[in-house]
Amino acid sequence: MEIVEKFMTNNPCYKAGRKIVVQGLMLHSVGCPQPSAESFIKRSNNPNEKRACVHAFIDGNTGKIFQTLPWDHRGWHGGGSSNNTHIGVEMCEPSIIKYIGGATFRYSDRQACMEVVKRTYDAAVELFAFLCMKFRLDPMKDGVIISHNEGHARGIATGHSDPEHLWNGLQSGYTMDGFRKDVAACLARAENQPPADKTIPKINPTVITEAISTVETVSTICPGVLVSLTNDAVYYNGKDIPSWIKSDRWIVKSVSGDRAVIDANESKTKAICSPVNIKHLQLVSATDTPVTPMDVQEISKPIVEKKDTSEQNPNAQKADYIRKQVSDNGVALVAKYEGCQLQAYRCPAGVWTIGYGHTQGVQPGQKLFSMEEARKLLKADLQKYADYVNEYVHNGTIQFALNQNQFDALTSFCYNCGKGNLKTLVAGRDAATVADKMLLYNKGGGKILAGLTRRREEEQKLFLS
């Protein structure tokens, strides 16, 4: 076990120097896809981080333990009275998980995720055994070793679900009861007593001191926070951002270096999934309820996407992409702008047609008995155009994740404008640019047509909802 002392000397919790009588240990996980402990240390070593200071981070890549506060200093990690009694330790999380709301996340490679989780779990077991020895704590005594989630259930911590949300979501088999038993076994081994069920190496901490000498300019932009855009903001590729985007506030989906992806707006009525340099983002959060990557608030079953590597390589082919179908909302949008006849007729090209332009197998004299029957035929016909959208997602032409409304809007667009125009619209663009450019396809014979303008506006509205 390697403990790197890297005290956050610029953090208000360190500067306050308040002491606690250590009565227990609280285990956390960070709640965002970031395995690097030092990235959190840089962010938190800041005079303005009044409500974010744990005693240690466990690095997901190496298993190293970075101690950020003296063990008996009062930190701010659990909220409530647990800050006065418990040492708080954060486990970093795999980079390839993607949070999609609250504690719900997707993951692309379970084995790779589990390598990180096992590494942090094993390090946490040794660290907690070491701390139990240091402060003469019984790991099996009620309330001594608890998770943030368990602290909330006891009324001594805020309403978070970590780390169980991560363990459960990955079906790891790890539990807090099992963790306490593993700590007890490790402690027994260290004290030369027979371990419970397994042989765990004796604790042998190596302590390295690394001082943080200066205040670094660190971004507080991280997944889950609400941001506004600066007036001079442009997309990450340098292209202009439409004014309607700049006038709203957005939730950050992911951060990689200086590249942040903003997605849903504050009111959750639009989703754009667009990359912006973090220098163009301004943090928006309430003073009493700051949004941090550690704010995991509910347990929800993850959506597993086994080989979705689009975040790392947008052009990667999605081998396991699940083919989408147009929804009834999408059908209704197309039907609104297409004429319908319940009796078969010859179109200008001489083809027998019925309903909303259905031609397959239509015979003279054929009739439909209801508009609902016509819509069912339209839905079946639309799947051809929906599959063009599926194709462009599958081969990487569309480089952002599509929700159902976006899928329906693009299907309607393709049905009206054709596969070639769809490719021109979406190729290499983010969602916000697609929505913006969609309105340009409103001409017939070189003239702007009111009907096409209304249709594009409605498709854009659906796309952004």
Q: How far is CA 356 from CA 194, 300, 336, in A?
A: 77, 41, 10
Contact 225, 283 (CB under 8 A): yes
The pLDDT score that the predictor gives to residue 61 is: 92
The pLDDT score that the predictor gives to residue 176 is: 96
By annotation, the residues acting in catalysis are 338
CA separation for the pair 87, 70 (Å, rounded): 10
Lowest average pLDDT, out of 8-22, 40-54, 96-110, 291-305, goes to 291-305
CA separation for the pair 323, 345 (Å, rounded): 33
Contact 338, 356 (CB under 8 A): yes
The first and second tokens of residue 59, run together, are 């690095």
Q: Which residues contact 349 (CB under 8 A, 6 or more apart)?
A: none
The pLDDT score that the predictor gives to residue 78 is: 86
Tens digits of per-residue pLDDT, 63-90?
Answer: 999 999 999 999 988 878 899 999 999 9
Backbone angles phi, psi at 196, to 5 degrees: -60, -70
Question: Is 70 exceeded by the pLDDT of residue 290?
Answer: no
Residue 143, Ramachandran bin (φ over 0: left; ψ between -120 and 50: alpha; else beta):
left
Question: Is 50 exceeded by the pLDDT of residue 145?
Answer: yes
CA separation for the pair 321, 306 (Å, rounded): 9
CA separation for the pair 70, 48 (Å, rounded): 20
Which amino acid belongs to residue 129? A
Tens digits of per-residue pLDDT, 316-362?
Answer: 344 445 678 899 999 999 988 888 889 988 876 678 889 888 888 88
Alpha helices in 418-449 (DSSP H): 419-426, 431-438
Tens digits of per-residue pLDDT, 365-394?
Answer: 899 888 888 888 999 889 889 999 999 988
| CB neighbour class for 406 (10 Å; exposed up to 12, middle 13-18, buried from 19) | buried
CA separation for the pair 275, 278 (Å, rounded): 9
Whole-prediction pTM? 0.50
Q: Residue 242 carries which DSSP code?
A: P
